[in-house]
Amino acid sequence: MTAGGPRALIGVDTGGTFTDTVVTLADGRLGLGKALSTPGRVEQGVLDSIGRAAAGLGLTLPELLRHTVILTHGTTVGLNALLTGTGARVGLLTTAGFESTLPIAKANKTHGLDELDLTMPTRWRKPDPLVARSDIAGVSERVDVTGTVVRPLDEAQARTAIRRLAARGVDAVAVSLLWSPVNPEHERRLAALVAEEMPGVHVSSSAAIAPVVGEYERTSTVVLDAYVAPKVTAYLHALQERLREHGFGGVLMILRTGGGAEPVVQTLRAPVNTLRSGPVAGLAATAALAAKLGHANVIATDVGGTSFDVGLVIGGAMQRAGTPMVHRHALAIPVVEVESIGTGGGSLAWLDHGLGALRVGPRSAGAEPGPACYGRGGTRPTLTDASAVLGYLNRLGDVVELDVEAARAAIRTHIAEPLGISVVAAAEGIVRIATDQMRDLIRRTTIQRGHDPSAFALVAFGGAGPQYASWYSQGLGAVDVVIPDLAAELSAYGAVASDLNIGAERGLVPTPVPEAGTAVTAALAELTERIEAGLPGAVDDVVAASGRSRVLHRSVALRFYRQQRRIELPVSLPVGAVELARLEAEFRERYERIVGVGAASKETPVEVVSVRVDLMVAVPVPSPVVRAPGVAEPAGTRMAWFDGVGHRCAVYDWGRLPADLDINGPAFVESEQTTVVLPPLRTARMDTSGHLHLG
């Protein structure tokens, strides 16, 4: 960073279709950028998006980056490698005799399957393996549950196993030994042997990434890390280099799947922590927004180009997944719970000839070629094409000039003519099916988990969330439906506002709460020492840039005896009888709040399963400009179709709307990045912070 201008913070969220940027300057100015994502060269889309934000502030890209102290980024590179099957060829080293832990997968053929597959036993299957059985090697060693070495590591035999993996051409090696969470020395030595025998090959160690009890979940996690690591690390190195070329000298931070952000040097040690980072940023921003609006319970809904994501905030806190998974693979790291389906603006509409039905998604047109209306060579109709045909959209900022005729032709050819209906009827059918799918996911995320959606506010964001919220929020009875200012960039805003978070976790042998004081105290002390000893210099830079102090947060994970769902609770020192009793009582109360009243049986014992320490530094974000009440005239009108009827609709400029002005549908509220669609009988009112509330 150089002197001579206001200090900047940047948040960047890379989605399947668009890359969004939010810039906050110390003088209070806000910059927004949107660019098409660039698959295969993701860093270019990041630079394009930042460049657009810089231009909006009257700066060049190098000028902005030279004054940037923190750049926080959510990336989907690792997740895309997993979803497309393009990760590394992984070799796995594990305790001899336990080579089949991962292939057996607890014999569970249904975990993570969607509802349709669950009803059809012929589709039951284990998750697709990320490591071939022939690339799994056992090494002679054994540690018991207390951490005592029962059989020393046979280094000669281990070297032979490593050389065999090298001969098979593996690109990365995962190491997961049976009781490494309580004694990691054998794993550390084995990782060192891999580095000697296979220099330059990425090594992932479960003791470093997920030191928790449960060998299947831990092994799955470390294999996932090894699988995505080469692509994630190559991308992050390329991004760092391109940023430096343009003058960036600040701290690059990467969003974590479990919430918060960490310096990139930490991410390079455990790339698995990036797998679901993008949706988490939007959920974190939603939780902060809801707190300011006075809502403790919130349904966060994010409609992007390729997916629809739903997460819950309960009692002001984002929910952690009880049995975290990604693409049916188990995870043993903290994961903020977000459910997703393949329904977004770029989702393809198609005819299921077997059922004789119109379908939307899960396949997507992506960023290349994108929907037909982008004019980039796409010929298949998408949800965005349907909105363009119906008049709901006529622009996507200055990123894409919409070709409505191309959208109309795609829908006519592939949907309307085969069904014998009009193009408008086909387009409305596409919107109705897509929004019904979105509403169904909200119901599954709330009602099927014992939550009444009428006790929640609903926040709609993402580039396409404002377009469809009026439909997918219907019938839920939410106490408030909010479309936030910066709705299209809320995940990027969540990135720029994310606190630095460096965490360490250690699994414990499950112990009844009243007996766990000594083990918890010792583990917390060990983790605190480990974090302090391993801090990267970037933490000091973040402290200096933010003007905030470091804060240590200590927590324990509790569960009912032998249950899966864990709940993390903050713990205070000293961990004596009084503190342990408080923890058990709070766990039972929180469990009932999440699962349902009466679910916390008084007879079932509660046990401690892990402890965690997080070092955090808060990142300050400027307050929004307060809007005053007033009046506003429409900026124009345009024709749009609702229920087969054409309407001349008022179009309002989001940036010019005063507070407390009622807008009656059919109407549109447009910003440079998104459009709020108000069908007939829907209303909207803006609050003093610039957020729209639907009625």
User: 382 versus 108: which is more confidently predicted?
Assistant: 382
Give the lowest-confidence range in 47-56, 99-108, 569-578.
99-108
User: 532 versus 225: which is more confidently predicted?
Assistant: 225
Return left, alpha or beta for 373; rule: phi > 0 is left, psi -120 to 50 is alpha, else beta.
alpha
CA distance 523 to 556: 10
Q: CA quadruple 562, 565, 568, 571: dihedral positive or negative?
A: negative
pLDDT band of 116, cuts 50, 70, 90: low
Q: Give the pLDDT score at 507.
A: 83
Tell me phi and psi for residue 631, to 5 degrees. Answer: -125, 160
331-372, pLDDT tens digit by residue?
Answer: 888 888 888 888 989 899 999 888 778 999 888 887 678 899
577-601, pLDDT tens digit by residue?
Answer: 999 999 999 999 888 877 777 778 8
Q: Give the pLDDT score at 501.
A: 87
Cβ distance 170 to 90 under 8 Å?
yes
B/e letters for 535-551, b = 16+ CB within 10 Å, e = fewer, are ebebbebbeebbebebe
Q: Give the pLDDT score at 186.
A: 97
Cβ distance 414 to 349 under 8 Å?
yes
Closest to 682 measured CA to CA, from 427, 465, 481, 392: 481
Per-residue pLDDT at 539 exceeds 90: no
Cβ distance 384 to 372 under 8 Å?
no
Equal fold, 86-226 vs 500-617: no
Q: Residue 550 to residues 31, 406, 615, 619: CA-CA distances in angstroms?
A: 28, 54, 7, 11
CA distance 152 to 171: 28
Per-residue pLDDT at 373 exceeds 70: yes
Tell me phi and psi for residue 97, to 5 degrees. Answer: 100, -10
Q: Give the pLDDT score at 297.
A: 94
pLDDT band of 57, cuts 50, 70, 90: very high
CA distance 453 to 256: 28
Residue count (the chain)? 695
Q: What three-state secondary structure class fits 576?
A: coil
The mean per-residue pLDDT over the stretch 282-289 comes to 87
- Stated as kind and residue range, the H or E segment containing 73 is strand 68-74
Which amino acid would we find at residue 524?
Answer: L
CATH-assigned architecture of domain 500-617: 2-Layer Sandwich (3.30)
Closest to 319 measured CA to CA, from 594, 677, 632: 594
CA distance 307 to 459: 16
Q: For residue 119, what are the contacts with CB-CB under 8 A and spacing of at least 6?
A: none
User: What's this model's pTM, rounded to 2 decimal places?
Assistant: 0.85
| The pair of three-digit structure tokens given for residue 676, joined into one six-digit string | 């709020």
Distance from chain centroid for Cα 228: 16
CA distance 12 to 233: 18
Q: How far apart are the first and last CA of the chain?
A: 46
B/e letters for 290-329, b = 16+ CB within 10 Å, e = fewer, are beebebebbbbbbbbbbbbbbbbbbeeebbbbeebebebb
203-231, pLDDT tens digit by residue?
Answer: 999 999 998 888 999 999 999 999 999 99
User: 330 versus 170: which is more confidently predicted?
Assistant: 170
Give the lowest-confidence range in 10-14, 164-168, 189-193, 623-627.
623-627
CA distance 532 to 534: 6
Q: Give the pLDDT score at 72.
A: 93
Q: Give the pLDDT score at 115.
A: 64
Q: Give the pLDDT score at 398.
A: 64
- Stated as kind and residue range, the H or E segment containing 348 is strand 347-352
How far is it between the farthest Cα atoms of the chain? Answer: 80
Q: Give the pLDDT score at 170.
A: 96
CA distance 430 to 464: 14
CA distance 193 to 186: 11
Per-residue pLDDT at 399 exceeds 70: no
476-505, pLDDT tens digit by residue?
Answer: 999 999 999 888 888 888 888 888 888 888
CA distance 73 to 270: 16
The position carrying tokens 């569960």 is 559
CATH code matching the domain that covers 86-226, chosen among 3.20.20, 3.40.50, 3.30.70, 1.10.10: 3.40.50
| The pair of three-digit structure tokens given for residue 241, joined into one six-digit string | 């280099």
Cβ distance 9 to 621 under 8 Å?
yes
Helices (H) and strands (E) in the chain — how many of each? Answer: 20, 33
Q: Give the pLDDT score at 677.
A: 97
Give the lowest-confidence range in 31-40, 243-252, 461-470.
31-40
The overall average pLDDT reported for the chain is 90
145-158, pLDDT tens digit by residue?
Answer: 888 999 999 999 99
Q: % helix / strand / coil in the chain, to the nearest 5?
A: 35, 25, 35
Cβ distance 367 to 401 under 8 Å?
no
CA distance 489 to 225: 28
Domain coordinates of the chain in residue numbers? 8-80+234-274, 86-226, 293-498+637-695, 500-617
Q: For residue 353, what are the contacts with CB-CB under 8 A and spacing of at least 6?
A: none
Superfamily of 8-80+234-274 according to CATH: ATPase, nucleotide binding domain (3.30.420.40)
Whole-number percent of the chain with pLDDT over 70? 98
Per-residue pLDDT at 397 exceeds 80: no
Neighbouring-strand partners of residue 23? 10, 31
CA distance 103 to 105: 5
CA distance 48 to 19: 9
Q: What three-state secondary structure class fits 645?
A: strand
Closest to 554 measured CA to CA, from 595, 583, 581: 583
Give the lowest-confidence range in 1-10, 62-71, 384-393.
1-10
Half-sphere exposure (CA, 13 Å, Cβ side) for 691?
A: 18
Closest to 276 measured CA to CA, from 256, 298, 251, 300: 256
Q: For residue 356, what are the contacts with CB-CB under 8 A and spacing of at least 6?
A: none
Tell me phi and psi for residue 208, to 5 degrees. Answer: -90, -30
Half-sphere exposure (CA, 13 Å, Cβ side) for 414?
A: 24
pLDDT band of 280, cuts 50, 70, 90: confident
Closest to 22 measured CA to CA, from 37, 13, 14, 11: 11
133-145, pLDDT tens digit by residue?
Answer: 999 999 999 999 8
275 DSSP 8-state letter: T
Rg (CA), the chain: 26
